[in-house]
Amino acid sequence: MIDLLETHISNGKVDHVISKFRFDKSFRVEAVGFPRVGEFNAILSSDEKRGYTRRGVGCKLFQNFMHHHGLFDLGFKGPKFTWMRGGVFERLYRMIVNDCWNLMASKSLVKYLSRIKSDHMYLLLLSSGSPLPHDPRPFRFLADWTKVTRHPQFSQLIWDKWRHRSNITKSLNNLWNSEVYAHIIQEKNKLKRSLATIQADLDRNGNDQLIAIKMDILSNLEDALNHEEPLWYQKSSCQWITEGDQNTKYFKSWALI
């Protein structure tokens, strides 16, 4: 007979339990660090919510749960509240870890991303690991370039380069990848920073003027994201998933346009 036990204890305490059960052949696997992230729908202290007529005192059950299991709130960077509706703000999303995780990744931190089309925030775990090396990116033809309404210079550029036998790919790379798409990405990042600032101000002291500014930023950000979307759509091969990637004239023609 084989018994598998999860004791939620470690080190000498486990050895004591094993001796009580009188197992003559046993071994243990030490607990490892883990993070848990999500919407816990509870707060740890009264300063994690704002907007109720009566300020709460935190969730005692959640506090006891954290203390009993030796868990820690990893902390965060960014706006304080992760959920809002009307004039109510709360920090419901968090990442909790155990002491083993603290030893393995002591510099890890949670970053709250800006709310865009939701009353909830996304969480991003920042670790202390070094970034992975990147190989030089190959040239990619982007189907979005052919949309005349978005890039009216495209046809003229192709014609000029063919007529003068110039390097088309280099010109495309310089004009669209460096100027058009770089501008869109820069504008998107600028708007996201502005949105984070406004949301932080709303966390501290919300008013109608800040809400109006926020809605204007969201509108501009949505427009920038709509311009950027075809790029990621193509990079993720969404078109191939829906239409197939066979060796057909259709896909050859796309590569040769």
What one-character-per-residue DSSP string does 164-214 give? TT--HHHHHIIIIIIIIHHHHHHHHHHHHHHHHHHHHHHHHH--HHHHHHH
Strand partners, 112: 123
pLDDT of residue 166: 56
At residue 214, does pLDDT exceed 60? yes
Instruction: Please tell me whether residue 94 adopts helix, strand or coil conformation.
Output: strand
Helices 208-235, 181-205: axis angle to 10 degrees equals: 150
Collapse the DSSP code of 163 into the 3-class scheme (helix H, G, I; strand E, B; otherwise coil) and give the result.
helix
pLDDT at 167: 60
pLDDT one-digit tens code per residue, 143-176: 666 554 455 566 666 666 565 555 655 555 555 5
Confidence of residue 94 (pLDDT cuts 50, 70, 90): confident
CB 21 within 8 A of CB 7: no
In the predicted structure, residue 252 carries a pLDDT above the cut 60: no
Structure tokens at 197: 């600032």
Q: What is the pLDDT of residues 34-52, one digit of tens each?
A: 667 777 888 888 888 887 6
pLDDT over 70 (residue 239):
no
Whole-model pTM?
A: 0.44
Can you tell me which residue has the tokens 């706006």? 79
pLDDT: is 56 or 14 the higher one? Answer: 14
Q: Higher pLDDT residue, 231 or 148?
A: 231
Class of domain 33-126: alpha beta
pLDDT band at 254 (very low <50, low <70, confident <90, very high): very low
User: How many residues does this entry show for the chain?
Assistant: 257
Find the Cα–Cα–Cα–Cα dihedral 234, 232, 156, 166, rounded to 10°.
-80
pLDDT > 70 in the chain, percent: 55
Dist CA 27 CA 30 (whole Å):
10
The chain-wide mean pLDDT, for the chain, equals 70
